[in-house]
Amino acid sequence: MLVLLIAAMGKQNKDVCKGYTISIRSERTSDFFLDENDISALLKKAAKGNIKGQARSAVDLRKMEESLEKNVWVKDAQLFFDNKGFIHVSVTEREPVARIFTEDGNSFYLDENEQVVPLSDKAIAKVPVFTGFPAKRKWTKADSLLVRDIRTTAQFINGHSFWQSQVAQINIVPAEGTDYGEFEMSPTVGNHLIKLGNGNNIDKKFSRLFVFYKQVLASSGLEKYKIVDVRFAGQVVGVKGTKNKVQRTIVNTGN
Protein backbone atom coordinates (compact mmCIF):
# COMPACT_ATOMS: atom_id res chain seq x y z
CA MET A 1 0.00 0.00 0.00
CA LEU A 2 2.83 2.42 0.88
CA VAL A 3 4.58 1.72 -2.42
CA LEU A 4 1.36 2.34 -4.36
CA LEU A 5 0.73 5.59 -2.44
CA ILE A 6 4.25 6.90 -3.16
CA ALA A 7 3.89 5.96 -6.83
CA ALA A 8 0.53 7.73 -7.03
CA MET A 9 1.95 10.86 -5.38
CA GLY A 10 4.89 10.84 -7.83
CA LYS A 11 2.55 10.55 -10.79
CA GLN A 12 0.37 13.35 -9.44
CA ASN A 13 3.43 15.61 -9.06
CA LYS A 14 4.43 14.93 -12.67
CA ASP A 15 0.91 15.69 -13.90
CA VAL A 16 0.86 19.28 -12.66
CA CYS A 17 2.69 22.33 -13.92
CA LYS A 18 5.62 23.15 -11.65
CA GLY A 19 6.11 26.63 -13.11
CA TYR A 20 7.62 28.24 -16.16
CA THR A 21 10.75 29.96 -17.43
CA ILE A 22 10.75 32.81 -19.94
CA SER A 23 13.38 33.73 -22.52
CA ILE A 24 13.06 36.74 -24.81
CA ARG A 25 15.25 37.13 -27.86
CA SER A 26 15.84 39.81 -30.45
CA GLU A 27 18.07 39.39 -33.49
CA ARG A 28 19.51 42.92 -33.66
CA THR A 29 19.47 44.42 -30.18
CA SER A 30 19.73 43.65 -26.48
CA ASP A 31 17.19 46.38 -25.62
CA PHE A 32 13.86 44.60 -25.29
CA PHE A 33 10.43 46.14 -25.69
CA LEU A 34 8.85 43.42 -23.55
CA ASP A 35 10.04 42.02 -20.23
CA GLU A 36 9.28 38.89 -18.21
CA ASN A 37 6.50 40.63 -16.30
CA ASP A 38 4.75 41.48 -19.57
CA ILE A 39 4.99 37.88 -20.76
CA SER A 40 3.82 36.52 -17.38
CA ALA A 41 0.78 38.77 -17.46
CA LEU A 42 -0.11 37.57 -20.96
CA LEU A 43 0.30 33.93 -19.91
CA LYS A 44 -1.90 34.32 -16.83
CA LYS A 45 -4.55 36.04 -18.90
CA ALA A 46 -4.53 33.20 -21.41
CA ALA A 47 -4.66 30.58 -18.63
CA LYS A 48 -7.29 32.57 -16.68
CA GLY A 49 -5.20 32.43 -13.55
CA ASN A 50 -1.97 31.06 -12.20
CA ILE A 51 -0.38 28.39 -14.35
CA LYS A 52 1.71 26.81 -11.61
CA GLY A 53 -0.23 24.00 -9.96
CA GLN A 54 -2.64 23.46 -12.85
CA ALA A 55 -3.02 19.97 -14.24
CA ARG A 56 -0.83 19.53 -17.31
CA SER A 57 -3.83 18.24 -19.21
CA ALA A 58 -5.62 21.54 -18.55
CA VAL A 59 -2.77 23.70 -19.90
CA ASP A 60 -3.39 24.50 -23.58
CA LEU A 61 0.08 25.42 -24.83
CA ARG A 62 -1.13 26.19 -28.36
CA LYS A 63 -3.77 28.58 -27.07
CA MET A 64 -1.15 30.31 -24.92
CA GLU A 65 1.18 30.63 -27.92
CA GLU A 66 -1.61 32.22 -29.96
CA SER A 67 -2.43 34.58 -27.10
CA LEU A 68 1.19 35.73 -26.88
CA GLU A 69 1.41 36.23 -30.64
CA LYS A 70 -1.57 38.58 -30.54
CA ASN A 71 0.67 41.08 -28.77
CA VAL A 72 1.94 43.51 -31.39
CA TRP A 73 5.54 43.19 -30.18
CA VAL A 74 5.62 39.37 -30.33
CA LYS A 75 6.80 37.96 -33.64
CA ASP A 76 6.84 34.32 -32.55
CA ALA A 77 6.15 32.32 -29.38
CA GLN A 78 7.06 28.70 -28.61
CA LEU A 79 6.02 26.81 -25.45
CA PHE A 80 6.79 23.26 -24.32
CA PHE A 81 6.83 21.14 -21.16
CA ASP A 82 10.07 19.55 -20.03
CA ASN A 83 10.19 16.18 -18.25
CA LYS A 84 10.15 17.90 -14.85
CA GLY A 85 6.83 19.63 -15.41
CA PHE A 86 8.14 23.13 -16.21
CA ILE A 87 6.96 25.13 -19.20
CA HIS A 88 9.67 26.76 -21.28
CA VAL A 89 8.43 29.97 -22.91
CA SER A 90 10.52 31.33 -25.81
CA VAL A 91 9.46 34.67 -27.27
CA THR A 92 10.98 36.37 -30.32
CA GLU A 93 10.31 40.10 -30.51
CA ARG A 94 9.55 42.01 -33.66
CA GLU A 95 12.54 43.90 -35.10
CA PRO A 96 11.92 47.59 -35.88
CA VAL A 97 13.81 48.62 -39.01
CA ALA A 98 12.58 52.22 -39.25
CA ARG A 99 10.89 54.89 -37.21
CA ILE A 100 8.28 56.91 -39.06
CA PHE A 101 6.86 60.35 -38.27
CA THR A 102 3.58 61.27 -39.94
CA GLU A 103 2.69 64.73 -41.23
CA ASP A 104 0.47 65.32 -38.18
CA GLY A 105 3.25 64.47 -35.72
CA ASN A 106 2.42 60.89 -34.81
CA SER A 107 5.17 58.30 -34.74
CA PHE A 108 5.50 54.51 -34.98
CA TYR A 109 7.98 51.80 -35.91
CA LEU A 110 7.97 49.61 -39.00
CA ASP A 111 9.32 46.07 -38.79
CA GLU A 112 10.98 43.87 -41.41
CA ASN A 113 7.58 42.46 -42.44
CA GLU A 114 6.14 45.97 -42.93
CA GLN A 115 4.10 45.59 -39.74
CA VAL A 116 3.29 48.81 -37.88
CA VAL A 117 4.56 48.62 -34.30
CA PRO A 118 3.83 51.25 -31.63
CA LEU A 119 6.48 53.06 -29.63
CA SER A 120 7.43 51.70 -26.23
CA ASP A 121 8.48 53.37 -22.98
CA LYS A 122 10.86 50.47 -22.26
CA ALA A 123 13.32 51.01 -25.12
CA ILE A 124 14.10 53.14 -28.15
CA ALA A 125 15.17 51.43 -31.37
CA LYS A 126 18.24 52.92 -33.05
CA VAL A 127 16.90 52.82 -36.59
CA PRO A 128 16.67 55.25 -39.54
CA VAL A 129 14.10 58.03 -39.14
CA PHE A 130 11.64 58.84 -41.92
CA THR A 131 9.52 62.01 -41.74
CA GLY A 132 6.55 63.32 -43.71
CA PHE A 133 4.56 60.08 -43.97
CA PRO A 134 0.93 60.75 -45.01
CA ALA A 135 -1.46 61.04 -42.05
CA LYS A 136 -4.21 58.62 -43.05
CA ARG A 137 -6.25 55.97 -41.29
CA LYS A 138 -6.35 53.75 -44.36
CA TRP A 139 -3.37 53.33 -46.63
CA THR A 140 -3.76 53.64 -50.38
CA LYS A 141 -1.83 51.59 -52.94
CA ALA A 142 0.69 54.43 -53.18
CA ASP A 143 1.12 54.40 -49.39
CA SER A 144 1.71 50.64 -49.41
CA LEU A 145 4.41 51.05 -52.07
CA LEU A 146 5.93 53.83 -49.96
CA VAL A 147 6.00 51.51 -46.93
CA ARG A 148 7.80 48.90 -49.03
CA ASP A 149 10.37 51.51 -50.11
CA ILE A 150 10.87 52.62 -46.50
CA ARG A 151 11.46 49.05 -45.38
CA THR A 152 13.90 48.36 -48.24
CA THR A 153 15.85 51.57 -47.69
CA ALA A 154 15.95 51.18 -43.90
CA GLN A 155 17.19 47.59 -44.12
CA PHE A 156 20.01 48.64 -46.41
CA ILE A 157 21.08 51.41 -44.02
CA ASN A 158 20.86 49.09 -41.01
CA GLY A 159 23.20 46.67 -42.75
CA HIS A 160 26.03 49.20 -43.23
CA SER A 161 27.69 50.90 -40.26
CA PHE A 162 28.92 53.85 -42.37
CA TRP A 163 25.41 54.77 -43.49
CA GLN A 164 24.01 54.18 -40.02
CA SER A 165 26.33 56.97 -38.88
CA GLN A 166 25.92 59.25 -41.91
CA VAL A 167 22.13 59.21 -42.33
CA ALA A 168 20.53 61.78 -40.02
CA GLN A 169 16.99 61.40 -41.36
CA ILE A 170 15.07 60.84 -44.58
CA ASN A 171 12.18 63.10 -45.53
CA ILE A 172 9.32 61.90 -47.71
CA VAL A 173 8.40 64.43 -50.42
CA PRO A 174 5.93 64.22 -53.32
CA ALA A 175 7.39 62.78 -56.51
CA GLU A 176 6.89 65.31 -59.28
CA GLY A 177 3.83 64.54 -61.41
CA THR A 178 2.75 61.47 -59.42
CA ASP A 179 0.88 60.47 -56.27
CA TYR A 180 3.92 58.65 -54.94
CA GLY A 181 6.46 59.81 -52.39
CA GLU A 182 10.22 59.78 -52.77
CA PHE A 183 13.14 60.32 -50.43
CA GLU A 184 15.42 63.24 -49.63
CA MET A 185 18.16 62.42 -47.16
CA SER A 186 19.82 64.75 -44.67
CA PRO A 187 23.35 63.58 -43.78
CA THR A 188 24.92 63.74 -40.34
CA VAL A 189 28.09 65.37 -41.75
CA GLY A 190 27.59 68.13 -44.33
CA ASN A 191 24.78 70.55 -45.22
CA HIS A 192 23.95 69.04 -48.59
CA LEU A 193 20.61 67.42 -49.41
CA ILE A 194 20.67 64.02 -51.09
CA LYS A 195 17.93 63.11 -53.56
CA LEU A 196 17.41 59.35 -53.40
CA GLY A 197 14.15 58.97 -55.31
CA ASN A 198 12.20 55.83 -54.43
CA GLY A 199 13.47 52.58 -52.93
CA ASN A 200 14.25 50.86 -56.24
CA ASN A 201 17.94 49.87 -56.58
CA ILE A 202 18.65 51.63 -53.30
CA ASP A 203 21.95 49.75 -52.90
CA LYS A 204 23.23 51.14 -56.20
CA LYS A 205 22.13 54.66 -55.26
CA PHE A 206 24.11 54.54 -52.04
CA SER A 207 27.03 53.04 -53.95
CA ARG A 208 26.96 56.02 -56.35
CA LEU A 209 26.80 58.39 -53.40
CA PHE A 210 29.82 56.72 -51.81
CA VAL A 211 31.80 57.11 -55.06
CA PHE A 212 30.83 60.80 -55.15
CA TYR A 213 31.99 61.25 -51.57
CA LYS A 214 35.37 59.70 -52.36
CA GLN A 215 35.99 61.40 -55.72
CA VAL A 216 34.47 64.86 -55.25
CA LEU A 217 33.59 65.77 -51.68
CA ALA A 218 36.86 64.41 -50.30
CA SER A 219 38.79 66.91 -52.42
CA SER A 220 36.43 69.90 -52.59
CA GLY A 221 34.84 69.65 -49.14
CA LEU A 222 31.38 68.82 -47.87
CA GLU A 223 30.12 72.41 -47.98
CA LYS A 224 30.62 72.97 -51.70
CA TYR A 225 27.43 71.26 -52.88
CA LYS A 226 23.87 72.02 -51.78
CA ILE A 227 22.21 69.10 -53.54
CA VAL A 228 23.55 65.68 -54.49
CA ASP A 229 21.24 63.75 -56.81
CA VAL A 230 21.77 59.98 -57.10
CA ARG A 231 18.41 59.08 -58.65
CA PHE A 232 19.70 58.30 -62.13
CA ALA A 233 21.68 55.19 -63.09
CA GLY A 234 25.38 55.59 -63.77
CA GLN A 235 25.80 59.15 -62.56
CA VAL A 236 25.66 61.57 -59.65
CA VAL A 237 24.68 65.20 -60.13
CA GLY A 238 26.11 67.71 -57.67
CA VAL A 239 24.43 71.14 -57.56
CA LYS A 240 26.09 74.23 -56.14
CA GLY A 241 25.68 78.00 -56.31
CA THR A 242 22.66 80.25 -55.74
CA LYS A 243 19.23 80.47 -57.37
CA ASN A 244 20.57 82.97 -59.87
CA LYS A 245 23.71 81.02 -60.66
CA VAL A 246 23.44 77.26 -60.49
CA GLN A 247 26.38 75.03 -61.33
CA ARG A 248 26.14 71.28 -61.82
CA THR A 249 28.87 68.69 -61.62
CA ILE A 250 28.11 65.28 -63.15
CA VAL A 251 30.19 62.31 -62.02
CA ASN A 252 29.90 59.09 -63.99
CA THR A 253 29.96 56.17 -61.61
CA GLY A 254 29.29 53.20 -63.87
CA ASN A 255 26.46 51.79 -61.76
pLDDT of residue 246: 60
Mean pLDDT of 78-100: 94
* Percent residues over pLDDT 90 in the chain: 58
Q: How many CB atoms lie within 10 A of CB 102?
A: 16
Query: What are the DSSP calls for 1-54, one per residue?
Result: -HHHHHHHHHHHHHTB--EEEEEEE-SS-S--SS-HHHHHHHHHHHHTS--TTS
pLDDT top residue among 209 and 15: 209
pLDDT of residue 220: 77
Cα–Cα distance, 60 to 67 (Å, whole number): 11
Query: What are the DSSP calls for 188-241, one per residue?
Result: SSSS-EEEEESSTTHHHHHHHHHHHIIIIIHHH-TTS-SEEE--STTEEEEEEE
3-state SS class at 2: helix
CA nearest 74: which of 108, 35, 48, 128?
A: 35
- Beta-bridge partners for 238: 228, 249
pLDDT of residue 250: 76
pLDDT of residue 86: 94
pLDDT of residue 248: 74
Using the predicted structure, report yes or no on whether residue 6 has a pLDDT greater than 60.
Answer: no
Q: Any idea what DSSP says for residue 55?
A: B
Apex 91 CA angle, 88 and 97, nearest 5: 165
Using the predicted structure, report yes or no on whether residue 85 has a pLDDT greater than 60.
Answer: yes
Cα–Cα distance, 176 to 38 (Å, whole number): 46
pLDDT top residue among 178 and 161: 161
Do residues 192 and 228 lie in contact, with contact meaning Cβ atoms separated by under 8 Å? yes
pLDDT of residue 3: 47
pLDDT of residue 8: 44
Mean pLDDT of 121-138: 88
How far does Cα 34 stand from its chain's mean position?
A: 15
Mean pLDDT of 144-159: 95
Burial of 157 (0-12, 13-18, 19+ CB in 10 A): buried
Q: How many CB atoms lie within 10 A of CB 245?
A: 7
Cα–Cα distance, 23 to 16 (Å, whole number): 22
Using the predicted structure, report yes or no on whether residue 23 has a pLDDT greater than 60.
Answer: yes
Using the predicted structure, report yes or no on whether residue 132 has a pLDDT greater than 80.
Answer: yes
Q: CA end-to-end span of the chain, whole Å?
A: 85
How far does Cα 112 stand from its chain's mean position?
A: 5
Q: Any idea what DSSP says for residue 57?
A: G
Q: How many CB atoms lie within 10 A of CB 23?
A: 12
Can you list the domains of the chain with their CATH numbers?
2-93 (3.10.20.310), 96-252 (3.40.50)
Mean pLDDT of 229-234: 92
Listed in sequence order, the residues at least 6 apart from 218 whose beta carbon sits closer than 8 Å to its beta carbon are none
Do residues 164 and 98 lie in contact, with contact meaning Cβ atoms separated by under 8 Å? no
Mean pLDDT of 211-235: 86
